[in-house]
Each structure stands twice: as C-alpha cells, then as structure tokens.
Structure 1
C-alpha cells in the first residue's frame, strides 16, 4: 500500500470512529449531547467575548465610539456565554427549538418556492407538486412544534452519524 492510500485509509478510519462515537452519544443520550453542544456554544461565546474585549481595549487606532461598541459587544458575548453555561438544560432546549424553527422555515420556504415555479417544470408536474407539498407540510409542522421537530432532527442526526461511522469503519477494515 502506497503512502497516499495509507493516509486515506487512516483518515477514513478516524472519521468512522469519530462519527460512530458522536452518533452513539447523540442517539443514546440526546439530552446530554444537546447540553454538551450548548456548553460548547456557551464556552465559544465567552471566549469570543474575551478576545473581542482584549482587541477593543488594545486597539488604539479605532475611534472612541468603535471601541465602546466593541467593548459592549464583547460584554454581551461574555454574558450570553455565562448564561448558557449556568443553565445548560434550558440552553439545550433552546438549541433544539432554534434548530426546529429554522429547519421548518427553510422547508416551508422551499415548498412555497417550488409551488411558485411549478409551471416551469414542463409537462410532468405531479412529482414536483408532491415534493413541494411535502416540504411545505413538513416545514409548517416543524414551525408549529419546534421542540418535538428539533428533537427528532437531533435523533436523526445521531442515527445518521452512527450509520455513516459504522460504514466507514467497515470500509477501513476491508480496505487493502
């Protein structure tokens, strides 16, 4: 096996292992995994706030109003990060709701756009109409029940990562 193939095989193996572990974590413990992701977001917000604060204080070339706005924004980032870290359960629920709402809006808009341009699909309009109707109904369902939809999407993500990870591990093991 040449060096390139060896690197590709190793990359597939590492990717498969990570996907399997993350997928299993999400599938077995959806609430804990959502809390973990929310915690990572909270930590990232806090770190962004600290770095923006340092930059705003040190950068003397900015105007006074820009520095004040930078300091205020950095404080808001840090406060948001701390609030997320204080109550990870609520942050995880909020994360699932945001995922549900934004996915629902995306699907609903996609369905509306497909219905608006259905006349351009040519003579066979049945399948594009069915696809548009499914997108619209699925999107509206998610918008009106975002927590349940977000939780289902989260579980689906975990299952898909688990399946993809296992397939990649099999590919890694059988690659010569």
Structure 2
C-alpha cells in the first residue's frame, strides 16, 4: 500500500472511531453530553473574554474609547462564561432551545422560499409542494416546542454520528493494507 492510501485509511479509521464514540455518548447520555458541550461553550466564552481583556488592556495604540469598549466586551464574555458554569443545567436547556428555535426558523424560511419558487417550476409541482409543506410544518413544530425539538435533533445527531462512524470503521477495515 502506498503512503497516500495508508494516510487516507488511517484518517478514515480515526474519523470513524471519533464519530462512533461521540455518537454513542450523545445517544446514550443526551443530557450529559449536551451539558459537556454547554460547558465547552462556557469555557470558550471565558477564554475569549480573558484574551480580549489582555489585548485591550495592553494595546495603547487604539483610542481610549476603543479600549474601554474592548474591556467591557471582554468582561461580558467572561461573565457569560461564568453564568454557564454556575448553572450548567439551565445552559444545557438553553442550548436545546436555541438549537430548536434556529432549526425551526431555518425550516420555516426554507418552506416559504420553496412555496414562492413553486410557481416558477415546470409542470411537476407536487413534490416541491410536499417538500415545502413538510419544511413549514416541521419548522413551525420546532418553533412552538423548541426544547423537545432540540432534544430530538440532538438525539438524531447522535444516531447519525453513530451510523456514520460505524460505516467509516467498516470502510477502514475494507481498505486493504
């Protein structure tokens, strides 16, 4: 086996293993895995705030107004990160709600755009109409019930990662060494 094929095989194997593990964790423990992701977001906010604070405090080239705005923004980032750590359960629920609302709004917009384009299509308008209707109904459902929709999307993500990971592991073993 040449070096390129070996690297591709190794990459597929690592990707498959990571996808399988993350998919299994999300599927088995959806709340705990979402709490971990919320914690990572909190850590990222805090780290961004600290780095922005250091840059704003040290940078004397920018005007005082820019430095003050930079320091205020950095403090807001740090406070947001701390709030996430203080109440990780609420942050996790908020994560599900945000995912549900944004996905729902995206699907509603997609359905509206599809409905507006249907008249420009040729004679076959049935399938685009059905697709647009499904997008609209699914989007409205997610917007109306974002927590449960976000939780279902999180579970679906876990199942899909698990399936993709297993397929990649099979592909890894199928590539001849």
Q: Taking structure 2 as the reference length, what is the TM-score of the superposition? A: 0.99
Q: Per-residue deviation at 1:11?
A: 0.2
After TM superposition, the structure 1 = structure 2 runs for residues 54-69 of structure 1, keeping only pairs within 5 Å, are 54-69=54-69
1:43 maps to 43
Q: Per-residue deviation at 1:121?
A: 1.1
Distance in 2 (CA, whole Å) between partners of 1:67 and 1:15 is: 43
1:99 maps to 99
Distance in 2 (CA, whole Å) between partners of 1:117 and 1:163 is: 34
Q: Per-residue deviation at 1:117?
A: 1.4
Gaps of 5+ in 1: none
- Segments of 4+ in structure 1 off by > 4 A? none
Distance in 1 (CA, whole Å) between partners of 2:117 and 2:173 is: 47
Distance in 1 (CA, whole Å) between partners of 2:132 and 2:146 is: 20
Q: Per-residue deviation at 1:89?
A: 1.0
Distance in 1 (CA, whole Å) between partners of 2:63 and 2:166 is: 54
Alpha carbon RMSD of aligned pairs, Å?
0.5
2:153 maps to 153
2:111 maps to 111
Distance in 1 (CA, whole Å) between partners of 2:89 and 2:161 is: 23
Distance in 2 (CA, whole Å) between partners of 1:85 and 1:25 is: 21
1:90 maps to 90
1:33 maps to 33
Deviation string 1:109-130 (CA, Å, 9 cap, x unpaired) is 1001111111111111111111
1:2 maps to 2
Distance in 2 (CA, whole Å) between partners of 1:51 and 1:102 is: 29
- Count of residues paired in the alignment: 176
- Where 2:113 maps in the other structure, the secondary structure is helix
- Where 1:122 maps in the other structure, the secondary structure is coil
- Where 2:164 maps in the other structure, the secondary structure is helix
- Where 1:91 maps in the other structure, the secondary structure is helix
Deviation string 1:62-84 (CA, Å, 9 cap, x unpaired) is 11000000000000000000000
1:173 maps to 173
Distance in 1 (CA, whole Å) between partners of 2:160 and 2:87 is: 28
Distance in 1 (CA, whole Å) between partners of 2:166 and 2:129 is: 36
